[in-house]
Structure 1
Amino acid sequence: MIRPALCALLLASSPAQAEPSAFGCTNTEFAPSPSIEGRDGVFYRVQSDLRLQHPMSDIVVDQLARLARVLAGQGTTLVYVNVPTKGQAMPGFLPPEAAAYGYDEAMMQANYRDVVTRLNAAGVAAPDLMTAMLQAGPNEMVFFRSDFHWTPIGARLAAEAIGRTIRALPAYDGVTPARFTSQEAGPETAFSGLRRELQTFCKETLPPVEARTWITTRATKADAPAAAGQDGALDIFGQGDGGASLVLVGTSFSDSTINNFAGFLSEFTGIETTNYSITGGNQFGAMTSYLTSREFAEHRPTFLIWENPIYNSLAQFGPMPMDELIAAAGPPCDIPTGASAADGMLTAAFPPGALKAGDSLLFDHGGEGARVASVTLEGAGGLHRSIRIERSDRLRATGRFYLNLAPFWRPDLTRVSVSFDRPLTEASSLTLCPTPKGDAS
């Protein structure tokens, strides 16, 4: 027999009674991506939208600050864009039972602002997208109802906030902004893996990921009237950007055409956006693909926007991904090592003590296509360590791999070898990287 007091305790600790589903959905909390349905049939993922598993640690903030300094030393300003969760930026459609799954609106929003504040204090330009997206009208959805990506409304508000941040940066002082205009186009429907998952738990058809798209174009001399830039400066023909360039790397939030995010960035920055984003690349896919590319090495942009959802932790894979980005961001790794080729490997020998803990190496296959670099470190005292650097199928196979020696360094390190998943070419090389300007590590 259950005592009345115990019964009351059990009732108090159970989730609040959910409102009837708009689409006849049941048990969506047991979907592959556990979700709950809110007002007007808006779905939220329990883990990623309602909870924040990976608040940004001080170590990651320091790594991003190092990356920003090294990029700045070579003429590129980093803008790190935290995409807020659906629960942070669109709380008005949440159901009451969200609290039973760990959601606290004030705490979630304070967490986002804390990350942005700490990044900016460390010298990393980090716009506040959450506050901008919270300014949407009461019936405007900044995320799709049955998907976790932002709508064109959300993307536009985000781009406007990023534009304000970039226009206030010192590197923008010499920019003459061009004029870009965005116009509504026809409707477009995008595929959604989350919607497909949830549909099996619902009797009625869930709303598609559909929106009226936008097309952004650059003004020409024939366009009239002349437009004033957002800083008030008159841009007579909407032409010219003072040689400035802007590159966007990110996730499916940036790669999807339905939201026109890259186009809106051009509109609100006055600089044409080149988009290297990768769907399914997670937090490092696009950034690693771009920074290890020859395009980046030969033509560094004025501004580099790195978009990443806040729930994609930069600490998930340890220090190596960020260490590789920092090495790639520095000056050309062109210090010869005298490496020789034999049996499909490049090998460089060093006097004892010549290699330092902070040194980095570039293993360049010499062309596109190689996805794996197998590195061996040897020392006079019998040291033998193997490291595998790999690019998944989603990433671009640039054939260029960077390794910071700090996690593997020993004073007796005297030999470095590398082989690739493709035969060596005449252009294959093993070189040492100079200490990056601005790196205080």
Structure 2
Amino acid sequence: MIRQTFTLRRISLLAVSLMLRPVVALEQGGATGAHAQEAQQILYRCDNLQEKSPRSTIGVKLYQGYDGWFFRKSDLENLFEVSDESLAAFKRVNEALAARGIHLVLMPMIPRGIVGRDKIPNDGLLSDMIYDPDFSARQFSAFIDALRQAGIDVVDINQILESAPDFDHSSYSFAADVHWTPDGARLVAEAVARKIRQIIPEKPNPTKFETSLSGEEVLIRGNLTKALNEVCQDKVPPDKLATFKTVQALTSLDALFADVAEGGDGRDLLHIVGTSYTDEALYYNFAGFLREFLKADVSSFSVAGGGLTDAIYGWTQKSGGLAKKPKVLLWEYSSLREILKENTIVSSAIVPAIFGACSGDLEIAAGEFAAGSNFAFDLPKTGERASNYYLHLNFSNAALTGFHITYRYADGNERIATFTNPTRVARLKDLYQRFPEERDDTPVGVSLQLENGLSTSGNVQLCRFPIDAFSRRPVSN
């Protein structure tokens, strides 16, 4: 069931407002009437782009805008729905991190149609769809509000842009690449730094970081540009980017060896998990700008192409990640619809991974298994709800890719689940799985089958979540 009801009412308002607009035909090669001047800014010949682009390597429908801009269909969304299940998944991550003393800040990326609104031809009246960037911006902010009402601290990039009237919105993103530019990354980093300093006030002796041009220029050859050159008659050149570097400003030799951890408790101030937007191996320098504005070091665990879950799941298992207990975790993700597909993974795998291996009263049962590819374990009866428990399996073989898990219940019924290790985060040796919640009772046995004929030894734990883990009050925004 979809939680939001505002979308249905505003669809009708959108339709009425667009019916009042003049309809002007626009072809890729030219235009007539009031839009002739704008149409002259169509730079490349890409005949029948909407029909041909789904057959490109990225397999999505594309639209050409002005000044060399191109949009994916997903960049031109009018509505941003979030289900009750998705909200519950984010809320559980928030509460799990809070139980570990970590403050979650979620940062959904704003769609390019909103920031590139001036580059959309024919006032958004496209050949096979209608797009209204003002309506889309309001819906994006409503999406942010829905997350906040669930108790999650969220960065609203649309509000950041609206609060910067002198910032050229079209400079936020590349024209023929889906990512933000360093200008966009810098604008958002400054606002995020202010938010984090509201959560964690600045330490007495801040560390100075300085950002400057690196002197190097790179060509941005993303998947969008590559796909365009598969289907367009004219060559679409890559965007050129002057890169930045951020370094610690040393005021003395002592500063070179100083502990840059935030405060005196040895905890890091901020970790980042996310996608290519915040991956330090790429060219946007978001983490560098954050260091400059925060006057503190940050660690990025983002993974290009990792989607919603790869980076945060890898972060839970890395020795420099969750084990360091940062004060704030910034979780960036780029596809707003991805949570609709992956809320089960978030709830069943990432939430227990945040709690990790259990001990003491939280360890209900434990055992070891010899090398093999098939394992079966009997589990003790708990007499409690399945949602209170999870499995933790540790493997000797870090090259494992996927698993088939079969849960067996006292009445003889079984439930089969499949789990795949994140493809872009290698060398993970732990599997965390919350019990299926379709049933109230816990399973009395579990069997595990490894994929691809691989073999491993290891150990298994049946863990209980802390009693008050999911009853915390919402964070403030």
- Fold-level similarity (TM above 0.5): yes
Q: Which runs of 5+ in 1 are unaligned?
A: 1-8, 227-236
- Are the counterparts in 1 of residues 104 and 328 from structure 2 also a CA contact under 8 Å? yes
Give CA-to-partner distance per residue, 1:313-345, whole Å, 9 cap, x none. Answer: 212135233332111222643415243536654
Q: CA deviation at 1:348?
A: 3.4
Of residues 73, 87, 90 in structure 1, which corresponds to 2:116?
90
Alignment counterpart, residue 50 of structure 2, candidates 26, 29, 34? 29
- After the TM superposition, which parts of structure 1 deviate over 6 Å for at least 4 consecutive aligned residues? none
> What per-residue deviation string (whole Å, max 9, x for no partner) do you get for residues 90-113 of structure 1?
312221252332211221101111
User: What is the correspondence of 1:207-286 to structure 2 with a 5 Å cutoff?
Assistant: 207-222=237-252, 241-242=262-263, 243=266, 244-255=268-279, 257-286=282-311
Question: Is 2:67 the partner of 1:40?
Answer: yes
Query: By how many angstroms is 1:214 displaced?
Result: 0.6
Query: Aligned with 2:419: secondary structure?
Result: strand
- CA–CA distance in structure 2, aligned partners of residues 312 and 220 of structure 1: 44
Instruction: Tell me by how many angstroms 1:437 deviates.
Output: 4.5
Distance in structure 1 (CA, Å) of the matches to 2:182 and 2:440: 52
Q: Which residue of 1 aligns with 2:57?
A: none
Q: CA–CA distance in 2 between the matches of 1:189 and 1:424? A: 44
Cα distance in 1 between the residues matched to 2:303 and 2:395:
23
Residue equivalent to 2:333: 308
> Taking structure 1 as reference, are residues 412 and 177 closer, same or farther at Cα in structure 2, changes over 3 Å only?
closer
Alpha carbons of structure 1 residues 197 and 161: separation in structure 2 relative to 1, 3 Å: same
**Which residue number corresponds to residue 429 of structure 1?**
460
Greater shift in the superposed pair: 404-413 or 87-96? 404-413
CA 1:42–1:436 in 2, change beyond 3 Å: closer, same or farther?
Answer: farther
Q: Specify the alignment match of 1:349 in structure 2.
A: 378
28 and 309 in structure 1: CA distance in 2 versus 1, 3 angstrom threshold = same
Given that 2:397 and 2:429 are in contact with CA atoms closer than 8 Å, whether structure 1 keeps it comes out as yes
Distance, in Å, in 2 between the alignment partners of 1:125 and 1:167 is 14
Q: Do the aligned residues in 2 keep the contact of 1:346 with 1:417 (CA within 8 Å)?
A: yes
Tell me the SS of whatever aligns to 2:152.
coil
* Among 92, 102, 107, the residue aligned to 2:135: 107
Shift of 1:54: 4.6
Question: Following TM superposition, by how much is the alpha carbon of 1:208 offset from its aligned partner in structure 2, in angstroms?
Answer: 1.3
Give the count of matched residue pairs.
417
| Alignment CA distance shift 1:297-1:305 (3 Å) | closer
Q: Contact 2:161–2:167 at 8 Å: present in 1 too? A: no
Q: Distance in 2 between matches of 1:175 and 1:404?
A: 42
What residue ranges of structure 2 are gaps of 5+ in the alignment?
Answer: 1-18, 32-38, 55-59, 473-477
CA distance in 2, matches of 1:176, 1:367: 44
C-alpha change, 1:27 and 1:423, in structure 2 (3 Å) is same
Preserved CA contact (<8 Å) 1:331 1:436: no
Structure 2 CA distance, aligned partners of 1:89 and 1:212?
21
User: Which amino acid letter does the alignment assign opposite residue 385 of structure 2?
Assistant: K
**1:75-224 alignment runs, 5 A limit:** 75-96=101-122, 98-100=124-126, 101-134=129-162, 135=164, 137-138=167-168, 141-169=171-199, 171-172=200-201, 177-185=206-214, 186-222=216-252
Distance 1:178 1:52, change over 3 A: farther
Question: Could you tell me the percent identity over the aligned residues?
Answer: 22
> Per-residue deviation at 1:312?
3.8
Give how far 1:357 is off: 1.5
Aligned partner of 1:231 in structure 2 is none
Seen in structure 2, the aligned counterparts of structure 1 residues 345 and 176 have a Cα distance that, compared at 3 Å, is farther
The one-letter code of the counterpart of 1:282 is: G
Q: Distance in 2 between matches of 1:121 and 1:295?
A: 32
CA contact (8 A) 1:381 1:412 kept: no
Relative to structure 1, is the Cα distance of residues 400 and 139 closer, same or farther in structure 2, using a 3 angstrom cutoff?
A: closer
- Paired with 1:111 and 1:74, the residues of 2 have a C-alpha distance of 33
Q: Alpha-carbon deviation of 1:38?
A: 2.0
Taking the aligned partners of 2:154 and 2:295, their CA distance within structure 1 comes to 19
Aligned ranges 1:54-93 → 2 under 5 Å: 54-93=80-119
- Aligned-partner residue type, residue 334 of structure 2: P
Asked if the contact 1:178/1:238 (under 8 Å) is kept, the reply is no
The CA RMSD measured in Å over matched residues stands at: 3.0
Task: Note the alpha carbon deviations across 1:267-293, whole angstroms, 9 max, x for none.
Answer: 222332222111222221212222244
**Are the equivalent residues in 2 in contact too, given 1:188–1:211 (CA < 8 A)?**
yes
255-264 or 333-342: bigger deviation: 333-342
Letter in 1 for 2:148: N
Q: What secondary structure sits across from 1:377 in the alignment?
A: strand
Closer, same or farther: CA 302–25 of 1 in aligned 2, 3 Å: same
Read off the aligned partner of 1:348 and give its amino acid letter: F
